[in-house]
Amino acid sequence: QVQLVESGGGLVQAGGSLRLSCAASGRSFSAYVIGWFRQAPGKEREFVAAITGRRTNTYYEDSVKGRFTISRDNTKDIVFLQMNSLQPEDTAVYYCAMRSSGFVEVNWNRYDYWGQGTQVTVSS
**Taking the alpha carbons of 61, 52, 82, 10 in that order, is the dihedral positive or negative?**
positive
Q: Give CA–CA dist 103/81, Å, rounded.
A: 19
Residue 90: what are its φ and ψ, rounded to 5°? -85, -5
- Given pLDDT bands bounded at 50, 70 and 90, which one contains residue 98? very high
Q: Are strands 3-7 and 18-25 parallel, antiparallel or unpaired?
A: antiparallel
At 21 the pLDDT is 98
**Taking the alpha carbons of 27, 19, 53, 103 in that order, is the dihedral positive or negative?**
positive
Give residue-wise pLDDT tens across range 62-90: 999 999 999 999 888 999 999 999 999 99
